Structures are given as structure tokens and as C-alpha cells.
């Protein structure tokens, strides 16, 4: 499937991308090759394969949640960019300076 330059510009507009004419030409070729690859994948017979959400076995990769001693206030702010005692100091988000 060969994409036209107008189709690539439309896709770029949807993605809020501002492409040069050279980029449109480049991406037209690349996107066309990708779509051709998907067309060849559509031709593969998968009728003998069971539907599945994942081919990998499910496995919990999280560690156990074990209670431990809490950090002290000094440990909590030790790596803070700026702190005042045991509190984080951050730039104002709302309002005037």
C-alpha cells in the first residue's frame, strides 16, 4: 500500500507534527513499507492458534510488601533539592512569586 504525500501530511496533522517536504517524502516510503509488512502478516493462517492475551506466562515481579521501620525525617529529606528542617521546599505553583 503506497501512501500519498497528502495522506502523510494528514497523519502528521493528526499527530500535531510539522513536517518538511523532505520528511513527508521519507515518511511516505517508511509508512508504506510498514503497511506492506502488516498486509503480509494478515495473510498468515492463524486459525490453528488459540486466542490469547499474552504468550508469556503470568508472573508477579513485585517483591513482597513487608513492613519495616519508617525513615526518620532527616532521612526523608536527605536527597531533597531544597529543604527546610524536615520539610521539602518547592517553587510556588500557583499565584504570584
Residue 70 confidence (pLDDT): 95
Residue 23 confidence (pLDDT): 96
pLDDT 10s digits, 2-23:
899 999 999 999 999 999 999 9
- More confidently predicted of 58 and 66: 66
The structure's pTM equals 0.49
Architecture of domain 5-42: Orthogonal Bundle (1.10)
> How sure is the predictor about 57, in pLDDT bands with cuts at 50, 70 and 90?
confident
> How sure is the predictor about 97, in pLDDT bands with cuts at 50, 70 and 90?
low
The residues spanned by each domain of the chain are: 5-42
Closest CA to 31 of 60, 64, 62, 5: 5
C-alpha–C-alpha distance, residues 79 and 97, integer Å = 25
User: At a CB cut-off of 8 Å and minimum separation 6, what does 61 contact?
Assistant: none
Q: What percent of the chain stands above pLDDT 70?
A: 98
C-alpha–C-alpha distance, residues 57 and 39, integer Å = 29
Q: Which residues of 61-96 are buried (b: 16+ CB within 10 A; e: fewer)?
A: eeeeeeeeeeeeeeeebeeeeebeeeeeeeeeeeee
Amino acid at each position: 500500500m503506497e501512501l500519498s504525500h497528502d495522506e502523510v501530511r494528514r497523519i502528521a496533522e493528526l499527530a500535531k507534527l510539522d513536517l518538511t517536504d523532505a520528511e513527508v517524502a521519507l515518511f511516505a516510503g517508511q509508512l508504506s513499507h510498514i503497511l506492506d509488512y502488516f498486509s503480509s502478516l494478515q495473510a498468515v493462517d492463524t486459525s490453528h492458534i488459540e486466542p490469547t492475551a499474552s504468550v508469556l506466562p503470568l508472573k508477579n515481579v513485585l517483591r513482597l510488601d513487608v513492613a519495616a521501620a519508617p525513615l526518620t525525617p532527616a532521612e526523608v529529606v536527605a536527597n531533597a533539592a531544597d529543604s527546610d528542617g524536615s520539610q521539602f521546599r518547592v517553587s510556588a505553583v500557583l499565584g504570584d512569586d
